[in-house]
Amino acid sequence: MKVKSPQEIAVMREGGKILADIVRQLESRVKPGVTTKELDALAQNLFSRYGKASFKGYNGFPCSICTSINEEIVHGVPSDRVLKEGDILSIDAGLFYKGFHSDMATTVAVGSVDSEVARLIRATKKALKRGIKKLRPGITVGDLGNTIERYVESQGFCVADGLCGHGIGVNLHEKPDILNYGLRHKGEILPEGLVICIEPMLCLGKPDIDYCQNGITIKTKDNSISAHFEHTIAITSNGAEVLTV
């Protein structure tokens, strides 16, 4: 695990603030009739002003952001697909700024959505908040995952199997893996100065996952709706500091 100095966290704070602004601008453009490729073009323009998109070219990913629709959980590839009323869209974005990455995701309703889908979105966002509130030096990965898992199950949803958050810094993905489930007091101990991404991915149906035909995008196996929220967070002596705000 790569602990960051206060100076490095300060740089990541700068980058996180920029990324949060980019994501909010993208979020404001989501409406029926828009294509995800149009959102990606806007994202690329915004990224080019400050640094570069973390995802473009990463493991062969062809675009600047991930745009996952409905049953797609993560790694959705922007395309000419037109968003329609009742869809939900997860936007996942990363910025490489002054030598460090930041990573953030949000899920947006496209117009009016089914009440249970709206509840799924709220629960996913709340699961992330629960995880952030739990975070402090000395807890384990299992403590964090258990907090998220128990809340999700109390709402009648489940977390997607095998998908998790991660450490972040000079590299987009660093140790440790940050699971959305786990056992208390188990797993790696999280130290002060570590920067991680917590990213609950909740499913309306079963937790089993599968790949879409493009071999990149991960979806729910039963084609049920999924939602995704993520922040980049520094572990400080006072608890958690969200950097992507």
> What pTM was estimated for this model as a whole?
0.97
Topology at the third CATH level for domain 6-238: Creatine Amidinohydrolase (3.90.230)
- How do residues 227-239 score in pLDDT, each as one tens digit? 999 999 999 999 9
For residue 176, which phi and psi values (nearest 5 degrees)? -95, 170
Is residue 163 very low, low, confident or very high in pLDDT (cuts 50, 70, 90)?
A: very high
Average predicted confidence (pLDDT) for the chain: 98
Which tens digit of pLDDT belongs to each residue from 58-79?
A: 999 999 999 999 999 999 999 9
- Distance CA(44)–CA(15), nearest Å, equals 16
* Each residue's pLDDT tens digit, 196-219: 999 999 999 999 999 999 999 999
